[in-house]
Amino acid sequence: MVAAVTGDDEDNLVISLLAKQEFAVPRVVARVNNPKNEWMFNEMWGVDVSVSTPHLLTALVEEAVSVGSLVRLLSFEGGRARLSEATLAPDSPANGKDLAELGLPRDSTVVAIIRDSHVIVPRGDTVLRGGDEVLVLTTPEAEDEVVATLLG
């Protein structure tokens, strides 16, 4: 594995491309410094996973101040999978329901619940409450249904 994490996007792209094409590295992770360059950090340039520092910081700020909205934290596989977080409002349609009865789309799963600063590993009988931070892994196609189910 190679991690291209310099402070320069051009260097990170060159490192990624060389790692893939010249050295046949199976997995390349690259840091994106300028959000305008994020579109280039894909498989064509030898990048398997891109990590956008500005995007992560923005997501963390949004997550800290938002209740009742889905905040995308990370994208995987060129955007084909997303890790998002939603803080449930007290009037959320998911409040008081267990995960099994929610009926989340097949292309999504709750991977963790943070309640009172403790991580809860979700099970089918885990009941959601207002104020829970719910981490969801989903595809872009299922994201709207996840929002409707968790947040209304």
Q: Which tens digits make up the pLDDT trace of 41-96?
A: 999 999 998 888 777 776 666 655 556 677 777 777 777 888 888 888 888 899 99
CB-neighbour burial class of residue 7 (10 A; exposed 0-12, middle 13-18, buried 19+):
exposed
Domains of the chain: 2-51 (3.40.50.720), 66-151 (3.30.70.1450)
Q: Which pLDDT does position 35 carry in this prediction?
A: 85
Q: Which pLDDT does position 59 carry in this prediction?
A: 66
Separation CA 126–CA 109 (nearest Å): 13
Distance of CA 92 to the CA centre of its chain: 21
- For the question of whether the overall pTM of this predicted structure is more than 0.75, the answer is no
| Cβ-contact 113, 131 below 8 angstroms | no
Q: Which pLDDT does position 72 carry in this prediction?
A: 79
The residues near 10 (Cβ < 8 Å, ≥ 6 apart) are none
Q: Which pLDDT does position 86 carry in this prediction?
A: 86
Q: Is 33 left (phi over 0), alpha (psi -120 to 50) or beta?
A: alpha
One-letter amino acid at 45 equals W
**Hey, is 100 helix, strand or coil?**
helix
- Whose tokens are 């491309």? That residue is 17
